[in-house]
Structure 1
């Protein structure tokens, strides 16, 4: 491991480069900023070898790009593409993005927005249920969002004109883009040909050994990948042999040395704490209404869970939360696009069911967690809004059900809770152990005095502090 041999004065610089490539996977001359690519190019050799040894990742570095090819052990619905205005991509925007990449791969050095739109519109004509009508403002806006995503990463550079003007009226506005072909080719590099897959599960990482017992090195890489890819990893996430690897101090300390982060260990699992802000895509606790309400809700939940006089019912974690996501994605795959002669067999999880056929009763009992009814969650968010709503963003003051949904989604993404689905919406929440880290929230609300005309920013708003575990 090269990180052990790097001089202590340069180690911080190396760790910063490691965090940047782990957080972004694609680095260009302008994305995520102009200093990232030179930083990674300086440590390219060391990073390439350490990433392969620790995680099984492959790193390609050129003069204009650095591209990390990770091994995906499980799907993650919590990292969607976003527009430049931080709106989530929908299915239409994802489709336009994919087709725009296909068109740019056949283009020259420059292209106008109208030309690119015409090519994408022609491609949509071959796909049932998808079209791009330049007469519809919603379609133009979605297309410009996809182009903006590419421009943000350096695949396109605006040379003249304005994409917003074109979106408002294509007959008046226009935009000309320079195409960075190395970036275009670096963005879409799936590990396998998508036309050969019957299931999205074919994009996941290495298969387990036939006897169901992965090699120690493979298990160690899976544990390290979990540490850097998930907010917190629980022992329940892993097979028994991998839990033994997680318990080894050496495995966690290697990731700490490589990233420069510190790990918090508990009996239930491990979390890397990123105070640098260069690896985490979501900061928590954080600013903004959603983060503030989430922290307030966590405090209320922790008080309820710790009330020994009124214990909450216990339920086991959902058996296979990823399986539902795989099924949803597989249902969306058009059968007409699969190249049958070379296609893989349909994905089957029968291996998991027979992982230990000789002694099926020897498997450990699944962990159980406190269960909280979703109605209580909604009532609590309403009570928090009634009490502190004056400091919330206006859109959330008027939409408490929407606020509740977004706050719960944030907590689930952080792996602090697990949503239990019901017949007509969420039935409730399973309270996961890491939530206890944020118990004891202390709220301070400062409001403007009626006799004051002007106040400083420090004298207004609401702030939430936490006490450590």
Structure 2
């Protein structure tokens, strides 16, 4: 829902989302230069060349781009920024269910959960996630302790060590599409270069992405995606960033971002002048959503995309298991890829800190109260009464706020706490706004206890009175 609401308002300004349909996206930057390879080979940019972009080309592109940013609405500017810079990381749910996969067609409302691993949420605020190793299997080998290392899947052919390195490089690029020699991941450039050909081929074939290599950088050109803004930048900030990439002055937020990116000159020019990605069909659109977003719900897809995912979900998710080490949950409402190592995501849920802990508790308790009773034909979402949100948040704040060391500002401002906790659930695909109220989406149930015949009612002082008889629970609530 987030993808389609944002895309509808931004398509005219950004030429389409890139995960869906594109129209005129080439106007946002200079047109593709003759001879641009589209065959999956990595493009190399060794420095200024006679046929390369002139100094005037990035400057002219920056001015045009800055004008487009300045004239855009915030959502359109955010989408345009993902089209031009593509600096967002993949986002996936965390936590791996221990139960076996259920029968096909099982709803998230009544399927396996990860509640056993997320219930001890109240860790110190300085808690740091520790990577969990998968049990060793026959035919596999240890992968080492790198941050983006994954348990290796048995390879039918080829060198298992090379397969591990390829996956490590691919995961890094999905998490950090701009890798520079002087940046925090500069040490990985040699690994990316060593596997540049298969990386480029995999990204091109699977996602329609383009890999560009320069003397001091690697860039994975990603498609436009709603809901992934550059933190701290509004349309004016994006305009300033475009001008700064061409050598103009940079205000403080832009300077902080450029200091983090540490872009060499050829990458700055590439960000301003690179041609757009080709339009994506239903198959590639679905793959991009699987690779970049926490949950792909059938209800959010166009008919052709929905038909493809329904028919090919096992095969598509197996591709991502091989390439990125992601595990699939295929449910009646859609498909989610999650990372067993809880690493390949720009937002952590479960995770440490006030918002992550409170949001997960909020989802858990709302599921317990609103979960559809019937296991068959369960709705993909249920409407959440405002009073229930406020009461549940009040309960968990009373129960855990002080003992868990939650942020004092949130404890003193429950309106802001509610807003930001719901926003996090929205960005993770577990809740969605519906006018002035909210929908609880079926994937939220993966973090709640298993369904019981008669779920317990809330007992906190903020909870609603338990006025609905147990036999009627699950039948009187409004489904969407």
Settle same-fold status: TM greater than 0.5: yes
Q: Kindly provide the CA deviation profile for residues 366-419 of structure 1, in whole angstroms up to 9, marking residues without a partner as x.
A: x76210123321232122212222121112111111011000000000011111
Residue number among 282, 300, 304 corresponding to 1:241 in the alignment:
304
Deviation, 1:76, is 1.5
CA distance in 2 between counterparts of 1:430 and 1:4 reads: 44
SS at 2:246's partner residue? helix
SS at 1:100's partner residue? helix
Match of residue 226 from structure 1:
289
Q: Is residue 284 of structure 1 aligned with residue 349 of structure 2?
A: yes
Q: Is residue 181 of structure 1 aligned with residue 265 of structure 2?
A: yes
Match of residue 203 from structure 2:
51
CA distance in 1 between counterparts of 2:396 and 2:176 reads: 35
CA distance in 2 between counterparts of 1:242 and 1:4 reads: 31
- Note the 1:82-231 alignment, pairs <5 A: 82=231, 88-104=232-248, 116=249, 143-155=251-263, 180-189=264-273, 191=275, 206=279, 218-231=281-294
Match of residue 447 from structure 2:
438
Does the 8 Å contact 2:246/2:268 carry over to 1? Answer: no
Does the 8 Å contact 1:261/1:272 carry over to 2? Answer: yes
Does the 8 Å contact 1:302/1:436 carry over to 2? Answer: yes
Does the 8 Å contact 1:220/1:251 carry over to 2? Answer: no
Does the 8 Å contact 1:371/1:431 carry over to 2? Answer: yes
Aligned residues: 292
CA distance in 1 between counterparts of 2:343 and 2:183 reads: 13
RMSD: 2.7
Does the 8 Å contact 1:20/1:278 carry over to 2? Answer: no
Match of residue 10 from structure 1:
162
Higher relative contact order (Cα pairs below 8 Å, separated by 6+ residues): 2
Q: Is residue 42 of structure 1 aligned with residue 194 of structure 2?
A: yes
Does the 8 Å contact 1:12/1:260 carry over to 2? Answer: no
Q: Kindly provide the CA deviation profile for residues 282-335 of structure 1, in whole angstroms up to 9, marking residues without a partner as x.
A: 1110000000000110111111112649xxxx9xxxxxxxxxxxxxxxxxxxxx
- Note the 1:311-390 alignment, pairs <5 A: 369-390=381-402
Does the 8 Å contact 2:317/2:337 carry over to 1? Answer: no
Match of residue 414 from structure 1:
428
CA distance in 2 between counterparts of 1:71 and 1:43 reads: 22
Q: Is residue 76 of structure 1 aligned with residue 222 of structure 2?
A: no
Deviation, 1:239, is 3.1
SS at 1:59's partner residue? strand
Does the 8 Å contact 1:71/1:205 carry over to 2? Answer: no
- Note the 1:253-268 alignment, pairs <5 A: 253-268=318-333
Does the 8 Å contact 1:28/1:153 carry over to 2? Answer: yes
Does the 8 Å contact 1:289/1:393 carry over to 2? Answer: yes
For the structure 1 residues 295 and 273, does the alpha-carbon distance in structure 2 shift closer, same or farther, using more than 3 Å as the test? Answer: same
CA distance in 2 between counterparts of 1:413 and 1:102 reads: 32
Does the 8 Å contact 1:19/1:278 carry over to 2? Answer: no
Unpaired runs of 5+ residues, structure 1, are: 83-87, 105-115, 118-142, 156-179, 193-203, 208-217, 315-366, 422-426, 442-469
Does the 8 Å contact 1:232/1:271 carry over to 2? Answer: yes
For the structure 1 residues 386 and 275, does the alpha-carbon distance in structure 2 shift closer, same or farther, using more than 3 Å as the test? Answer: same
SS at 2:433's partner residue? strand
CA distance in 2 between counterparts of 1:149 and 1:263 reads: 34
